[in-house]
């Protein structure tokens, strides 16, 4: 959502993005060779998704906000594939969409992690970090959830754009009104 004051900290997609980023760093440190390109790409995709949410929120242009939210969405799509690849390549089970464990994760409320300032992951997910199969499936589910939420945000941003116009369009309207009053 466009907010000149950077309202990203009030967005659920930002809270979840922060958790995904923190958990991806933990996952990669535990289960993927630190020197591998995969580690770099997974961490970068998680970071990019989060940072594009921030950048989009800071943009005065609804059009730029929509584009950056779309870039964030693509980053989580890439990260999702990395987690699915990890499960497949390691002979681990990927949970089905309606598996009770997936449904449990999907039902969890996303809450702001007050401890983010001290680099601690959100405690909500700690019980899922016990082994690589459970952890990877947690991340698959969170990436799907983030994708869904970002899709909803893009739809909302598009509706706002249709109703209120874009940044340049609104500047033009203000300029035209100014000229009518003073010239």
pLDDT digits (tens, 9 = 90+) for 149-163: 999 999 988 888 777
Q: Does residue 166 fall inside a structural domain?
A: yes
Q: Could you read off the pLDDT of 128-137 as tens digits, one per residue? A: 999 999 999 9
Q: Does residue 2 fall inside a structural domain?
A: no
Q: Does residue 165 fall inside a structural domain?
A: yes
Q: Does residue 106 fall inside a structural domain?
A: yes
What is the phi/psi pair of residue 103, to 5°?
Answer: -60, -40
The domain tally of the chain equals: 1
How confident is the model at residue 3, as a pLDDT?
A: 43
Give dist(CA 54, CA 22) in Å, integer: 16
Asked if residue 38 lies in contact with residue 32, where contact means CB atoms within 8 angstroms, the answer is yes
Structure tokens at 104: 């449990």
More confident residue, 137 or 178: 137
More confident residue, 172 or 41: 41
Average pLDDT over residues 175-180: 72
Give dist(CA 118, CA 25) in Å, integer: 15
- What does the buried/exposed string (b/e) look like for 26-63 if buried means 16 or more CB atoms within 10 Å of the residue's CB? ebbeeebeeeeeebeebbebbbbbbbbbbbbbbbebbb
Structure tokens at 82: 């990395």
Q: Could you read off the pLDDT of 12-28 as tens digits, one per residue? A: 999 999 999 999 999 99
Q: Does residue 1 fall inside a structural domain?
A: no
Task: Give the structural domain span for 93.
Answer: 7-182
Would you say residue 165 has pLDDT above 90? no
Q: Does residue 89 fall inside a structural domain?
A: yes
Average pLDDT over residues 49-64: 90
Q: Could you read off the pLDDT of 61-91 as tens digits, one per residue? A: 888 889 999 999 999 999 999 999 999 999 9
For the whole model, what pTM was predicted? 0.84
Give dist(CA 152, CA 125) in Å, integer: 24
Q: Does residue 86 fall inside a structural domain?
A: yes
Q: Does residue 160 fall inside a structural domain?
A: yes
Q: Which residue has 């499960």 as its token pair? A: 87
pLDDT-based confidence at residue 6 (cuts at 50, 70, 90)? low
């Amino acid at each position: 959502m466009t907010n000149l004051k950077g309202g990203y900290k009030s967005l659920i997609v930002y809270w979840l993005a922060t958790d995904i980023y923190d958990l991806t760093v933990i996952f990669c440190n535990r289960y993927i060779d630190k020197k591998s390109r995969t580690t770099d790409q997974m961490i970068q995709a998680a970071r990019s998704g989060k940072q594009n949410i921030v950048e989009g929120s800071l943009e005065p242009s609804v059009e730029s906000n929509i584009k950056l939210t779309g870039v964030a969405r693509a980053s989580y799509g890439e990260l999702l594939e990395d987690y699915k690849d990890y499960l497949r390549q390691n002979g681990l089970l990927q949970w089905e969409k309606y598996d009770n464990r997936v449904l449990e994760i999907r039902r969890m409320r996303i809450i702001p992690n007050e401890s983010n300032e001290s680099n601690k992951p959100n405690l909500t997910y700690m019980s899922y970090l016990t082994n690589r199969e459970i952890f990877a499936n947690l991340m698959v589910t969170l990436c799907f959830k983030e994708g869904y939420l970002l899709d909803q945000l893009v739809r909302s941003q598009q509706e706002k754009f249709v109703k209120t116009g874009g940044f340049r369009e609104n500047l033009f309207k203000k300029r035209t009104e100014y000229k009518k009053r003073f010239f």
